Amino acid sequence: MKNILVVDDEPAVLTLMCHLVKAAMYNPIKADNALQAIMVLEKSKRIDAMVLDIHMPELNGVELAKLVRLTRPTMPILFVTGLGEIDGVVSSDFFDGPGLHYLAKPFTNQAFKDNVNSMFN
């Protein structure tokens, strides 16, 4: 079973996304901020993908993704945000890279699961 690191600073959203990751037949690993996610990544080589909120305190999802890509350049990453558009949040040359996906909130449960599954197809 693939492990997906799910990172969001809103507890209710984090819980929901972890539930949906599990429903999609993957193992969710929770982190409630980017710094905690970095600690998880340092301790575990068995993270197969990430689901990241873009807007988080201290270090946002884009900054976290850029750090992750330095050591794990092929890791699939799904950005999830309440912003309606990605413009101005992520530079297009970074976001257009391989394995990067984007989903706007609010999303349906099925749309979330479809996006998670697409990271591995």
Could you read off the pLDDT of 36-47 as tens digits, one per residue? 999 999 998 899
- Reduced DSSP (H G I as helix, E B as strand, rest coil) percent helix, strand, coil of the chain, to 5: 40, 20, 40
Burial 95-120 (b: 16+ CB within 10 A, else e): beeebbbbbeeebeeeebbebbeebe
CATH of the domain at 90: 3.40.50.2300
pLDDT at 62: 86
Pair type for strands 49-53 and 77-81: parallel
Looking at the structure of the chain, the number of domains it has is: 1
- Write down the pTM of the prediction: 0.90
Domain that holds residue 107: 3-118
DSSP E strand stretches across 3-106: 3-7, 27-31, 49-53, 77-81, 100-104
pLDDT tens by residue, 60-72: 888 899 899 999 9
